[in-house]
């Protein structure tokens, strides 16, 4: 497999192997129902003015879209912009300085790969720096040494993402009527992983994809997309764009959230398209259960009118299926749904 897509020059044409068959290419977008932008300014750990409304919006967004953006989320804006900046610097380094991180070993805490890192039929127009980021002290030693301020920036970012996860989980569990820390512990017990996605400018975006349709495997994904558009979600069978909002963070509900909430919160299918004008960086941070964690619909959400829609399973089993089925939500749902009446 080719090590990376971005070699330091701009492509004039799309190499043949990146071209998707006509029937799989993107079609016209749906006219937008706008995806909620939720202002967390008044979200407190206690019930206060505006707080109940925020909790309601977060649940509504999960029922209707499976995704929302947050502003005034408390994450330091400077840390966010520094993170995007340093990652841009990383991908702008000469090829030989980047490829030292290339690996096909899935267990490595830091690795650079292209496309999905597997042997795709049609490769994606994307390189990715994957890093385990939290707990910081377990992984800092593996993070790239260059650019020189990368480690300190990733450390600050990781701590911010951890704090934000707790805040969001608190709001979700409150809205669902679960114990405050229900989603902590095993359900979010895997080290936090970030994917720094780099989509180089593509001479003909109609032929390629940055990421193909998938659902995210964990509980939530916290996504930073800078100011270049590219994320699209599937909503009622139609694709629609999630356009950048300054300093916002996108929260994508992952498949485990759908299982745990017995289908109340939906995991949204999404993809990334390419553009011909500029490169795009997005940073996705995944909050996932430990591999040996038992995932099941929360008992408090079940009664005779709400039987469990899904089986109980080990997250490790789900994850193996996720990889084998390339994040295909329909196939995964069929596999884990409850067939006993
Ligand atoms: C992902 C993802 C979307 C984007 O990394 O899982 O969906 O906009 N990224 O890059
Ligand atoms: Ni995703």
List all residues 6 or more positions away from 188 whose beta carbon is below 8 Å from its beta carbon.
165, 169, 218, 219, 287, 288, 289
For 137, the enclosing helix (H) or strand (E) is helix 136-139
pLDDT, position 117:
87
Q: How many structural domains are present in the chain? A: 1
CA–centroid distance, residue 211 to ligand 1 (Å): 7
Picking from 131, 102, 98, 137, the residue whose alpha carbon sits closest to that of residue 117 is 102
pLDDT, position 42:
79
- Look up tokens 């990733």; give the residue: 154
In a domain, 11, yes or no: no
Q: Which CA distances in Å does 54 have to 58, 69, 178, 253? A: 6, 12, 17, 16
Rounded Cα distance, 122 and 326, in Å: 13
Q: Which residues pair with residue 282 across a beta bridge?
A: 197
In a domain, 1, yes or no: no
Do 244 and 194 form a contact (C-beta atoms < 8 A)?
no
Do 222 and 166 form a contact (C-beta atoms < 8 A)?
no
In a domain, 121, yes or no: yes
Q: Which CA distances in Å does 144 have to 97, 111, 172, 192, 223? A: 10, 9, 34, 17, 21
CATH number for the domain including 252?
A: 2.60.120.330
CA–centroid distance, residue 170 to ligand 2 (Å): 23
Tokens coding 40: 């967390």
pLDDT, position 110:
98
In a domain, 8, yes or no: no
- Look up tokens 């206060």; give the residue: 48
Domain range enclosing 283: 16-336
Q: Which residues line ligand 1 (CB under 6 A)?
A: 195, 197, 211, 216, 221, 223, 225, 230-231, 270, 272, 282, 284
Q: Which residues of 298-328 are buried (b: 16+ CB within 10 A; e: fewer)?
A: beebeeeeeebbbbebebeebbebbeeeebb
CA–centroid distance, residue 93 to ligand 1 (Å): 22
In a domain, 230, yes or no: yes
In a domain, 145, yes or no: yes
In a domain, 107, yes or no: yes
In a domain, 35, yes or no: yes
CA–centroid distance, residue 272 to ligand 1 (Å): 6
pLDDT, position 27:
86
User: Which ligand 1 atom lies nearest to the CA of residue 128?
Assistant: 5
Per-residue pLDDT of the chain (341 residues; tens, 9 = 90+): 679 999 999 999 999 999 999 999 998 777 667 899 999 987 765 555 588 899 999 999 999 999 999 999 999 999 999 999 999 999 999 999 999 999 999 999 999 999 998 878 899 999 999 999 999 999 999 999 999 999 999 999 999 999 999 999 999 999 999 999 999 999 999 999 999 999 999 999 999 999 999 999 999 999 999 899 999 999 988 999 999 999 999 999 999 999 999 999 999 999 999 999 999 999 999 999 999 999 999 999 999 999 999 999 999 999 999 999 989 999 999 999 998 76
Do 249 and 231 form a contact (C-beta atoms < 8 A)?
no
pTM of the complete model beyond 0.85: yes
User: Which ligand 1 atom lies nearest to the CA of residue 230?
Assistant: 8
pLDDT, position 318:
98
Task: Report residues near ion ligand 2: CB below 5 Å.
Answer: 216
- Look up tokens 């977060």; give the residue: 58
């Amino acid at each position: 497999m080719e090590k990376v897509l971005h070699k330091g020059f701009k492509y004039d044409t799309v190499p043949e192997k990146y071209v998707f068959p006509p029937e799989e290419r993107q079609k016209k977008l749906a006219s937008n129902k706008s995806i909620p932008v939720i202002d967390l300014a008044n979200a407190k750990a206690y019930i206060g003015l505006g707080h109940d409304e925020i909790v309601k919006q977060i649940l509504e967004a999960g029922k209707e879209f499976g995704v929302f953006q947050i502003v005034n989320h408390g994450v330091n804006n400077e840390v966010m912009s520094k993170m995007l900046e340093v990652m841009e610097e990383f991908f702008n380094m000469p090829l030989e300085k980047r490829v030292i991180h290339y690996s096909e070993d899935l267990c490595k805490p830091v690795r650079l790969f292209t496309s999905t890192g597997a042997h795709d039929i049609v490769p994606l127009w994307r390189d990715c720096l994957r890093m385990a980021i939290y707990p910081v002290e377990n992984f800092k030693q593996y993070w790239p040494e260059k650019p020189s301020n990368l480690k300190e920036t990733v450390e600050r970012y990781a701590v911010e993402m951890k704090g934000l996860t707790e805040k969001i989980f608190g709001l979700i569990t409150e809205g669902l009527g679960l114990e405050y820390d229900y989603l902590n512990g095993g359900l979010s017990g895997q080290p936090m992983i970030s994917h720094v996605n780099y989509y180089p400018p593509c001479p003909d975006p109609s032929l390629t994809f940055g990421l193909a349709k998938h659902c995210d495997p964990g509980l939530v994904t916290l996504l930073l997309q800078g100011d270049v558009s590219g994320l699209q979600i599937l909503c009622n069978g139609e694709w629609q764009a999630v356009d950048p909002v300054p300093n916002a963070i996108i929260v994508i509900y992952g498949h485990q959230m759908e299982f745990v909430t017995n289908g109340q919160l939906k995991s949204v299918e999404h993809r990334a398209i390419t553009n011909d004008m500029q490169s795009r960086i997005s940073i996705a941070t995944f909050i996932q259960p430990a591999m040996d964690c038992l995932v099941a619909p929360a008992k408090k959400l079940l009664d005779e009118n709400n039987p469990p829609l899904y089986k109980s399973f080990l997250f490790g089993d789900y994850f193996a299926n996720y990889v084998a089925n390339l994040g295909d939500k329909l196939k995964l749902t069929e596999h884990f749904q409850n067939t006993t009446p």
